[in-house]
A and B are shown apart, each in its own frame.
Chain A
Amino acid sequence: MDRLDLLSFSLPLTLRHATIQPVKVVSSMGEQSVGKSFSLNHLVDTSFAGSAMRTTEGVWMSVTPTADVLIVALDFEGTSNRSPLQVHALIFGKGVHSIERSAQEDTLLVLFNTAISNLV
């Protein structure tokens, strides 16, 4: 079984009185390995697993309930701009996976990101 695939809880959680809360979406955008996951984690108390060794793949979501709003955090894979560091990684066989992102895939991710986030 592939991790928590079948975990889909349907039991009603006994949280505080169920009330409609405003939803705020916080997302990250930027080049690879600049610390997007790290920054999100420290901003809204999430646990995205980005690090220098493993880059984020695709889009990940985590939720931070607070007293007033429900914060939805989206962690986006970094855009591959082939910085000298990444070229180095490519040559030495690290991070090849994310280097292979095509320009169109980068664009799709960025489009989705800008479409659902408020730009500030």
Chain B
Amino acid sequence: MHLVVLDIDAQCCQSFALDITRKVTEFTFKEKGVRGGGSANSNDVTAHNCLIDCHAEVWTRFPVLPAVQRQTITSASSRCPRTLVFITDRDHQIFVPHFHDLISQFERTSKKPTGNLLKSIVVSATSYAAFSNALLGGAEWSVSKFRAGEWLAEFLCLIPIQIAVTKENRFIPLKDGVYSTEVEKSLLGADVNRIVDFLSFGWYESLFQSYLAKKVWIAWIFSHFPCH
């Protein structure tokens, strides 16, 4: 996988090769179906849309409107409507209909509850010059404003952490999501209090602390779950 950066001022293109060390974190974009076949009669059908169409993949795999929603962002933050701006110097008129078709097709085929969330995404296409003028023109940016901690909490909640694995017929708790033979050895024969002190949930620790929930949760685990 490569991260490609176009530097317009320096008129150069930089490419960074990313080394994906864990296969499960690697995502690829693949074209679906046969491109261009039999659609020559239509002027508004385009090829190579996978970077746009992958939105539907996300809506399919993950909830659009979950039953219980995270509430890390409070009303004190100002959240703007979701907006998607395509910046290009051509064919501005075809982005909005394509995206709306994508939404209609997804809603028709998946039949998931969406609560009008997708249809309310503001989609537009503009030229780089217009976009740049809007940003640099001195006018106030119409972007969402969050409290840093709330944004961070929202972000952290998106990353699940592995807390235990089974290996060679054993149940092994992980420390900060990582398997470590040293930690495992040091806990041999440890009592419950020592194990509780050792347990750590990586980036969720700060979240638990801020909700003062850590002790409740760990104590609860161990009151229900004898070690041996």
Interface size on A, as a range, is 35 or more
* A105 and B160 alpha carbons, distance in the complex (Å): 22
B176 located at the interface, meaning its Cβ lies under 8 Å from any Cβ of chain A in the complex: yes
Chain B 170-184 near chain A by CB (<8 Å), digits 1 or 0: 110010111000000
Q: Which chain B residues have a beta carbon within 8 Å of chain A's beta carbons?
A: 21-22, 24-25, 61-63, 66-72, 74, 147-150, 152-153, 156-167, 169-171, 174, 176-178, 200-213, 216-217, 220-221, 224-225
Do A59 and B163 touch across chains, with their CB atoms under 8 A apart?
Answer: yes
A41 to B157, CA, bound (A): 12
Q: Are A8 and B220 closer than 8 Å at their CB atoms?
A: no
B90 to chain A, nearest CB (A): 35
In this assembly, does A10 line the interface, its C-beta being within 8 Å of a C-beta of chain B? yes
Query: Which residues of A approach B to under 8 Å, CB–CB?
Result: 1-5, 7-16, 18-23, 25, 38, 41-49, 51, 54, 57-67, 70-72, 74-75, 77, 101-102, 104-105, 108-109, 112, 115-116
B-side contacts of A77, CB under 8 Å:
166
Given A8-B176, A115-B225, A15–B72 Cβ distance below 8 Å?
yes
Pick the contact of A41 from B62, B204, B208 — CB < 8 Å?
B62
14 new A-B contacts, CB < 8 A, other than A20-B216, A21-B211, A58-B162, are A3-B22, A4-B202, A7-B203, A23-B220, A41-B62, A41-B66, A44-B66, A45-B63, A58-B163, A60-B160, A63-B204, A67-B71, A115-B225, A116-B221
In the bound assembly, the distance between CA atoms of A77 and B160 in angstroms comes to 14
B68 touches A71 (CB 8 A): yes
Contacts of B159 in A (CB 8 A): 4, 47, 62
The distance in angstroms between the C-alpha atoms of A65 and B217, with both chains bound, is: 14
Q: Are B211 and A70 in contact (CB under 8 A)?
A: yes
Whether the Cβ atoms of A48 and B207 lie closer than 8 Å is: no
**B171 and A112 contacting across the interface, CB-CB below 8 Å:** yes
Query: Is B213 in contact with A23, judged by CB distance below 8 angstroms?
Result: yes
